Structure 1
């Protein structure tokens, strides 16, 4: 019985290793989606979106298509670029980037979906799919406190923080050395009696 369990474990490990090796021979698409909000003086907000697509696999991906269609037209207007694009191929170890800009029309909390990347592998008939990393919820046109309120204090702390730390440590050391401790003073007063 123990021999049968050992052989079945060995075969299961061999099967997993062979399937991992077989899958690593194809393309492996990793996509990262980044979003940046910029408040404009006109009271509107600009949303800059970029998607980086990287092929970490060992084979070329063909007919690569990026679709980031989760941006509803009720909330956003496209300012520049497109929310979808395509490339003929993505070689192993290479990176493709796509970016576009939107302008927010409505004050809301927006939960965006990951971008969808489809690609073709010559050894498979069906299109393959990959998803980008999700984005954090966007608080569009929210009331934010002014960012420069404590900017001067931050600059002073960055510039003089280490110096203040060293001077404080030296002053504390001199104070502790120069000030007699209460325990030695108490011992001296007991000896005088």
Structure 2
């Protein structure tokens, strides 16, 4: 009789160990980082880039000693105007967000493809630093020659955007005008009858 109890007990122990290992492995920070760049041309013939990186801790525990490094901007092409390409936070709680931005200026013309920013953080249960990466940016065309807008470019855009609605309104207006206005033939007949 002792044997049937052991048969039930063994799968129960295995299931308990499996569930506990899954629960303990989910108690870690999960970093999601979004990197974006906005460009603007300056009158001085340079181009200004505003780089912003948002970090989200989507995990269930706090991340400690969080550091962000974005060293994908070569010094021979870009100059840091304001801010820094790196940032440190003491901690990032579960569900919390941290943001960092800096401004670059480039006077070198050409295409540029940046790499993701690197986020390192410490988890209390692990000795080694954990590492995460931000999303990459789209390729940038620095100081690109932009074609000049033609005189009637705005009217083409309006026509393609609202052309069908304008055509329907004109058709309905014409239809109402035809119904409401007296016809020339009936006016001509009325004039002949009076004479």
Tell me which interval the TM-score lies in, with the shorter structure as reference length.
Answer: 0.7 to 0.9
Give the aligned partner of residue 103 of structure 2: 101
TM-superposed deviation, 1:144 = 1.1
Give the aligned partner of residue 189 of structure 1: none
Give the CA RMSD over aligned residues. 2.9
State the distance in 2 between where 1:27 and 1:114 align. 19
* Contact 2:45 2:107 (C-alpha < 8 Å) held by counterparts: no
Report the structure number with the largest CA radius of gyration. 2
The Cα offsets for residues 8-44 of structure 1, whole Å up to 9 and x where unpaired, read as: xxx8xx95x7665433211000000000110111211
What is the TM-score of this pair, normalised by structure 1? 0.73
Listed as ranges, the matches of 1:60-139 within 5 Å are: 60-139=62-141
SS at match of 1:123: coil
SS at match of 1:166: helix
State the distance in 2 between where 1:114 and 1:32 align. 9
Query: Which of the numbers 31, 41, 45 marks the counterpart of 1:43?
Result: 45
Unaligned runs of 5+ in 2: 1-13, 177-195
Q: Number of residues paired by the alignment? A: 161
What is the TM-score of this pair, normalised by structure 2? 0.72
State the distance in 2 between where 1:114 and 1:18 align. 35
Unaligned runs of 5+ in 1: 1-10, 175-193
Give the aligned partner of residue 6 of structure 2: none
Query: Which of the numbers 13, 24, 27 marks the counterpart of 1:25?
Result: 27
Distance 1:21 1:153, change over 3 A: farther
The Cα offsets for residues 126-170 of structure 1, whole Å up to 9 and x where unpaired, read as: 000000000111111111123686345545766x55641432664
Distance 1:166 1:65, change over 3 A: same
